[in-house]
Copies of this chain bind each other. A is one copy, B any other.
Amino acid sequence: MARSRVVIIGAGFGGLACARALAHCPADVLVIDRNNYHLFTPLLYQVASSLLNAADIARPVRTIFKDAGNVRFRQGEVSGVDLAGRTVEIVGAPAEPYDYLVIAAGSTTNFFAVEGAEEHSLGLKDLAEALELRNHVLGCLEHASVAPTGEATSWLTFVVAGGGPTGVEYAGALSELARLILPEYPELEGRRIRIMLVEGLSHVLPPFPASLREAARHELERKGIEVRTDTRVEAAVSKHVLLSTGEEIGARTLVWAAGVRPAALAAGIDAARTRSGRLAVDATLRLRGSENVFAIGDVAGVAHGDREVPMLSAPAMQEGRHAAKNIVRLSRGEAPLPFRYRDRGSMATIGKNAAVASIGPVRLRGFVGWVTWLAVHLYFLIGFRNRLAVLAGWAWNYLRSDRPVRIIARARERR
């Protein structure tokens, strides 16, 4: 029997888990990603807030699979999939044929058609955005230090849209960065940094239990963050953010963490989609009606009771491993098995010594929640060196209250 050729689109949590499960199996696996690294996105806000280096949370895909002779990597942008011809189209490169395809293309920022949001906000979805956000925030303080009094305020006002884990964690980290860095600007003596967290629903961390939502809000407010629930960003213009309350906030920074939607690739695939725009899959994680094409992670609408599995890393990893198992079964002539999502809980950190975690019936908060958060994130980070670097970064931050990566730097554009 010929070895199956498996193509995996995306080296995020889903694609990577699938490829790792297929390593050393009798199949030739090709992983395609637009970046040459797997990114540990749960810690991206720590890169954006000057705590960690980019390379601490990113690991080259080739390095991850250097000992797996059957897994290859291709850096490239997938432009489409020819389901009938069983090939994946890559920008500027020959199409890649497959026997089994795993679509793990992830998600992209959802601006919910808010006017000016895409143009005037900064994102926190990939490394390029996190680096830009870090540069921008540090640059705001430099601008404020030379701006006339009236203008300085808008350079020192930061609006974060979205009260989910990303928005909450970034707002908390930003307040710690601000407290640390402001004394280095004698020009700004007597001024304060204003951070506003805006959430459309009536609570931050909406999916969390009520007790933890309240704990998180209390902790955010204790840090001086203005939490605006039942409030939406209505529009963004160049130096202002308009809220649904009618307020017009003078702010040079709008961080958009309000939501995600399936990657654009999904819309270009000739297959059914769920109401949320995710690719509709059957119980075995295959595109409905397809024998050999799987979709997993944020891009796949996997049923979970009367809802869909949430767009998070944990279910993506579970689905990735399950898709791998089903590919092995199919290539052996066995029937694929149905997937069942196991909700292991969720957690978010608000800052030093403060996190909330909901794991089954267990509710953790404060220091215990924070230590649990640290341990879980360290465990899931890939690569010994990355764990070491992140642990060292955290230890430094804990002992010195320092966020040391405070340089404004960008790679030079080629001449």
A74 at interface by CB-CB < 8 Å: yes
Are the C-beta atoms of B35 and A408 separated by less than 8 Å? yes
A35 and chain B: residue at smallest CB distance: B408
In the complex where A184-B62, A385-B404 touch, is A411 in contact with B37 (Cβ < 8 A)? no
Which residues in B have their C-beta under 8 angstroms from that of A414?
A: 122, 132, 136
A63 at interface by CB-CB < 8 Å: yes
Distance in angstroms between the alpha carbons of A59 and B404 in the assembled complex: 8
Number of interface residues of A (CB under 8 A): 60
A66 at interface by CB-CB < 8 Å: yes
In the complex where A183-B66, A385-B404 touch, is A412 in contact with B132 (Cβ < 8 A)? yes
Q: Which of A117-165 contact B (CB under 8 A)?
A: 118-120, 122-123, 126-129, 131-132, 134-136, 138, 142, 145-146
A265 at interface by CB-CB < 8 Å: no
Kindly supply a per-residue 1/0 record for chain A positions 40-55, scoring 1 wherever the CB is within 8 Å of any chain B CB and 0 otherwise. 0000000000000111
Q: A55's contact among B36, B145, B385, B404, by CB below 8 Å, is which?
A: B404
Distance in angstroms between the alpha carbons of A186 and B71 in the assembled complex: 10
Q: Which of A91-120 contact B (CB under 8 A)?
A: 93, 118-120
CB distance from A140 to the nearest CB of B (A): 12
Are the C-beta atoms of B410 and A411 separated by less than 8 Å? yes
A239 at interface by CB-CB < 8 Å: no
A173 at interface by CB-CB < 8 Å: no
Q: A385's contact among B69, B385, B396, by CB below 8 Å, is which?
A: B396
Are the C-beta atoms of B185 and A409 separated by less than 8 Å? no
Distance in angstroms between the alpha carbons of A348 and B400 in the assembled complex: 34
In the complex where A36-B142, A142-B36, A404-B55 touch, is A409 in contact with B128 (Cβ < 8 A)? yes
Distance in angstroms between the alpha carbons of A185 and B146 in the assembled complex: 49
A402 and chain B: residue at smallest CB distance: B385
Distance in angstroms between the alpha carbons of A216 and B127 in the assembled complex: 39
CB distance from A268 to the nearest CB of B (A): 22
Which residues in B have their C-beta under 8 angstroms from that of A231?
A: none
Known: A53-B56, A76-B146, A131-B412. 5 other contacts (CB 8 A): A37-B407, A37-B408, A55-B404, A129-B412, A385-B400
Query: Could you list 28 examples of A-B contacts with CB < 8 Å?
Result: A35-B408, A36-B142, A36-B406, A37-B408, A37-B409, A53-B53, A53-B55, A54-B407, A55-B407, A58-B409, A60-B184, A60-B406, A63-B406, A66-B184, A72-B187, A93-B146, A120-B415, A123-B412, A128-B409, A128-B410, A128-B411, A131-B409, A131-B411, A385-B402, A385-B404, A392-B392, A409-B411, A410-B410
Using CB atoms and an 8 Å cutoff, list the residues of chain A in contact with chain B. 35-37, 53-56, 58-60, 62-63, 66, 69, 72, 74-76, 93, 118-120, 122-123, 126-129, 131-132, 134-136, 138, 142, 145-146, 183-187, 385, 388, 392, 396, 400, 402, 404-415
